[in-house]
A and B are shown apart, each in its own frame.
Chain A
Amino acid sequence: MATPKPRVKVPAKAAKGEVVTIKTLISHEMESGQRKDKDGKTIPRQIINKFTCTFNGQPVFWCDMAPAISANPYLEFTAKVMESGTFTFTWLDDNGSVYTAENKIAVE
Chain B
Amino acid sequence: MHLTRRRALGLAAGATSLAVFGFVPLRARAANAEATDAAIKEFAGGAVPQAGRIVLDAPEIAENGNTVPISVAVESPMTAGDYVQSVMFLADGNPNPSVATLHFSPMSGTAAATTRIRLAKTQNVLAVAKMSNGAVFVDTKLVKVTIGGCGG
Contact = CB atoms under 8 A, between A and B. Distances in A.
In this complex, the interface size class of chain B, counting residues with CB under 8 Å from chain A, is 20 to 34
Contact of A76 (B78, B94, B96, B115): B115
Interface of A: 19-20, 32, 34-36, 55, 58-71, 73-80
A35 B151 contact: yes
Interface string B83-113: 0000000010011101111111111111011
Interface of B: 66-68, 71, 78, 91, 94-96, 98-110, 112-119, 149-152
A80 B78 contact: yes
Contact of B100 (A55, A61, A63, A79): A63
Given A59-B105, A70-B67, A35 B152 contact: yes
B119 to A, nearest CB: 8
A77 B107 contact: no
Contacts of B68: 70
Nearest to B64: A70
Given A74-B116, A76-B113, A69 B99 contact: yes
A78 B105 contact: no
